[in-house]
Structure 1
Amino acid sequence: MLQTRSKGDWFKITIPPEWEDRTLDELLRMHWKAGKKLIHQMRMEKTILINGGLPNWNLPLKKGDSLELRLFQEEDFGIIPTYFDIEVLYEDQHLLVVNKPAGMDTHPNFAQEKDTLANAVAFYLQAKGEFRKIQHIHRLDRDTTGAVLFAKHALAGSILDRMLEERKIKRTYLALAEGIIRQKKGVINKPIGRDRHHPTRRRVASTGQPAVTNFKVRQVLPDRRMTLVECQLETGRTHQIRVHFSAIGHPLAGDQLYGGETILPRQALHAGKLAFTHPFTAEEIVCYAPFIDEPPIFPEIDIFQI
């Protein structure tokens, strides 16, 4: 775990032994893998200091040096803060994780939209006096519930984006699939592309992008002719779990877009767990998202066991 502290707009990290002999440029580009444009901006705006002074970006860092980053200056939200009672699963100065309800988009699709999770997060931060241009790191479908990760500043957003691309942010989903799935676990490896006959639907297509879903059966519900499955994604295609289970003949319950029966008010898909290494403290962060449907659509299950 890194030694860190904050003072005003500045975040300070004591250089650990494992960072010694790296240059500042190497730390940002190779360790954090921050974007080139952002690194250039921080360099030009002098928002990075070493031991209180402007750094030589090409000199090796030394154990015990103080790396100072100006990360917490006030910014315009870029969206309209809108009150909605949200459940925060984890929060610190750099990021937060929120339990998204059904019937809500993750972020606005046009400037004046104000009923999304991002609008609600902006209001939550505004009420605390934190003015941050928040960034969602991944999305959930409108009627999918569960954990969504947001960055509070540009450097956190850049690093977390790359972590997601490199599958260093682990997302675990629970889904209710129609029918009885006999195998205890499996891998669905089918490419996914757009359905040219429908504006939002996706489909399995040989010309699509690679898509891999790992699943294991958690519970068979013979009386309801359903199977509760736990899924982890190796890729993050739009509607991936929904498309994949429909393709193997087990559409998600309530998922009318992909052939599910109208036995539930929405597709039975919940992002129950989010796990990653914190980019600035090196802590292992694990968030569990409780079910929030009323009435419940999932069977009773200990969410902390996924």
Structure 2
Amino acid sequence: MLQTNRKGKWFEAIVPNEWEGFNLEDVFRKIWEAPKKLTYTFRIENKVLLNSNTPNWNMPLVHGDKIMISLFEETSGEAPPTFYDVPILYEDDHLIVFNKPAFMSTHPNNIEVDKDTLLNAAIYHLQAKGESRNIRHVHRLDRDTTGAILFAKHPLAGAILDRMLELRKIKRTYIAIVNGLLPSKKGIIHEPIGRDRHHATKRRVSLTGQDAITHYQVLKEDKKQKLTYVKCWLETGRTHQIRVHFSHIGHPLAGDLLYGGGAFFNRQALHAAKLEFVHPLTGEKIICHAPFIDNPQIFKGIDVYQL
């Protein structure tokens, strides 16, 4: 794990043995895989120091060198703050993981109109702590889906996490309740997903769609109601992926009226129960479990801490 400190607006990282011989450009572009444009911005705006001095970005680093990066400057949020008491699963100077409730959008479609989203609540939370940041989500959850969702507090963390998501280095585990009893206790649904040309917000399995892979494992069966509780994890993150895939194999999510799931619950039975990743700047292993927060409870007899 990288040794780091915060000093005011500056993030300090101590060069470890494995970075020796790399230069600053290598750290940003090869180790962190930050975008070229963002790296250039840090360089041209003199937002990086080496041992408290303006650095030569091409000079090899030495174990124990102190890299200072201006990460914590005050910036205004892109949406107005709105108070909502949203549970927090993890937070530090770089990122925050919320346990999103049902019936809350991840972000506004129209900043002037939509003021009750998770982004509005996140901005309020930070301002209440005296932090003014342009926070943004790294991935999304549907409005009616609950559970763990990751936000980045500054552009460098956001860029690294975006790349990690692209490389499938952020593991998201979901719990779903599907209609019917599945013929197999575990499996993989590998079907491309595209837009449904007959419905503006709906998706469907389509030969011309984007590649999509969903793994699943049966946790328990409710034979009386003919429902199956499944654990799902994704190799891709397409819009409505779990909902589309299970509908496609004839087992739509319970409560998912859009995809034929029937009115078992007041929303589709889908919860982002676990989030796992390596911290983008410290290297620490982060595991967040998201307890169920529905009232009345939808997912009964499932312990998210055992996933």
**TM-score (norm. length: structure 2):** 0.99
Aligned-pair CA distance for 1:223: 1.3
Q: Which residue pairs with 2:2 in the alignment?
A: 2
Structure 1 segments, 4+ long, off by >6 Å, are none
Q: Which residue pairs with 1:138 in the alignment?
A: 139
Structure 1 residues 244-259: aligned runs within 5 Å: 244-259=245-260
Structure 1 residues 201-280: aligned runs within 5 Å: 201-280=202-281
Deviations 1:182-221 (A, max 9, x none): 3111000000000000000000011111100000001111
Q: Tell me how far apart the structure 2 counterparts of residues 146 and 199 of structure 1 sit (CA, whole Å).
A: 25
Q: Tell me how far apart the structure 1 counterparts of residues 270 and 205 of structure 2 sit (CA, whole Å).
A: 19
Q: Tell me how far apart the structure 2 counterparts of residues 179 and 131 of structure 1 sit (CA, whole Å).
A: 48
**SS of alignment partner, residue 130 of structure 1:** coil
Q: Which residue pairs with 1:103 in the alignment?
A: 103
Aligned-pair CA distance for 1:297: 0.9
Aligned-pair CA distance for 1:116: 0.2
Residue identity in the other structure for 1:30:
K
Aligned-pair CA distance for 1:300: 1.8
**SS of alignment partner, residue 120 of structure 1:** helix
5+ residue gaps, structure 2, are none
Deviations 1:107-158 (A, max 9, x none): 1111212110010010011001010100100000000000000000010001
**TM-score (norm. length: structure 1):** 0.99
Q: Which residue pairs with 1:157 in the alignment?
A: 158
Structure 1 residues 175-194: aligned runs within 5 Å: 175-194=176-195
1:72 equivalent to 2:72? Answer yes
Q: Tell me how far apart the structure 1 counterparts of residues 160 and 178 of structure 2 sit (CA, whole Å).
A: 34
Q: Tell me how far apart the structure 2 counterparts of residues 3 and 145 of structure 1 sit (CA, whole Å).
A: 34
Q: Tell me how far apart the structure 1 counterparts of residues 111 and 269 of structure 2 sit (CA, whole Å).
A: 30
Aligned-pair CA distance for 1:8: 0.5
Superposed CA RMSD: 0.7
Residue identity in the other structure for 1:6:
R
1:38 equivalent to 2:38? Answer yes
Residue identity in the other structure for 1:130:
E
Identity over aligned residues, as a percent? 58
Deviations 1:5-58 (A, max 9, x none): 111000101100011111110110111011111111111111111000111111
Structure 1 residues 43-62: aligned runs within 5 Å: 43-62=43-62
1:287 equivalent to 2:298? Answer no
Residue identity in the other structure for 2:259:
Y
Deviations 1:270-295 (A, max 9, x none): 00000000111111000000001000
